[in-house]
Amino acid sequence: MAVNEAERRAMTRALSLATLGPRGVNPQVGAVLLSPDGTVLAEGWHHGAGTPHAEVDALSKLAPGAARGATAVVTLEPCNHTGRTGPCALALIDAGVARVVYALDDPGAVSGGGAERLRDAGVSVDAGEQADAAHAVISGWLTAQRLGRPHITVKWAQSLDGRAAAADGSSQWITGPSARADVHRRRAEADAIVVGTGTVLSDDPSLTARDGDALFADQPVPVVIGSRATPDDAAVRRHPRPPLFYDTRDLHAVVADLQARGIQSLFVEGGPTLASAFVSARLVDRVLAYIAPVLLGGDRLALTDIGVPSIGEARRLTVEEWLPLGSDLLAIASPSPDRPSADRPSPAGPREEGAA
């Protein structure tokens, strides 16, 4: 059965509702219930760990029996497991829902399979509506399910000749105001922002996400990696959220701990040494390279050694977009799918922390 216009509109609305939920160990999910004639009956979203999932949140706003014959439009496949809450697939079946339209399959080995359960109960199911948009909303969570770690963006700003700073170490500002505003917007979309102690000691960054002179409502958790001590009066210690400090060079251990803390997306902005370490460790899902039309020369490269001894072992990227920002250019790229990978996939677990 083809998705109709009312269901498409409902999916657009469900995607908007999903973003109202908190980012973290659970996916952001939205749901809209439609009557057989396409009228919106109820809406819901997941409010956080231990609370009803989006479908059940929407059903709770209706009187018993009011959802019989309805269509549930959901951004993620209804779950099929019992954790802190029961299976959403069963809740929809018990409510008498006749049709389910969802955007993305649930990748969880435990929580997936809701669509099959619905079909077995005679419910019409259609998958894939606005899947790309739904993927964008929960890309961090999906990466965590696939790899057992957060989605990692590595960002740097560089001159046209690939330098991150002038010979004396000065780098403010290589790029212009439009590029810097874009960086802050992307910071606000991340769960955590990561720098090394070298950046903290040399630049004393606040690691906040700013909208002009004001702070965005959503602030990333500041993370500092390195063995050198962060001064008591460092700007990062005045961040709205308590900073996390890691005295280690083991990036896999760092990202594993951040994952355990509910961090689903990292924004790495720590200078050439840290950026190169993440790239070398193959801990990068997206690269943001802000390129300014200036020449600096010298040896202060945007990336240092990343473990590429010959051209045949170059880290190949796929450019997703070239984005002009004032006089600067942003290259948005991701590692090519056929690249060798040191990532160790882990079986996807339940959609909910402590659900088992």
Active-site annotation, residues: 55
Residue count of the chain, please give it.
356
Rounded Cα distance between 274 and 330, Å, is 20
Please state, in angstroms and rounded to a whole number, the distance separating the CA atoms of residues 322 and 64: 52
The owner of tokens 């780098």 is 171
DSSP secondary structure letter of residue 285:
S
1: exposed, middle or buried (Cβ count in 10 Å: 0-12, 13-18, 19+): exposed
Tokens 């740097």 sit on residue: 156
What the block records as the tokens of 122 is 């005679």
Pairing relationship of beta strands 286-292 and 328-335 according to DSSP bridges: antiparallel
Q: For 22-44, give the DSSP string.
A: PPSSS---EEEEE-TTS-EEEEE
Name the maximum alpha-carbon separation found in the chain: 72
> Which residue, 275, 284, 259, 263, is CA-closest to 220?
263
User: Residue 252, SS3?
Assistant: helix
The tokens describing 270, both together, are 């720590």
**Burial (0-12, 13-18, 19+ Cβ within 10 Å), 266:** buried
C-beta of residue 254 within 8 angstroms of C-beta of residue 266: no
Q: Are 56 and 85 in contact (CB under 8 A)?
A: yes
Q: Cα separation of 126 and 128, whole Å? A: 7
Distances from the Cα of 254 to the Cα of 41, 150, 224, angstroms: 45, 11, 10
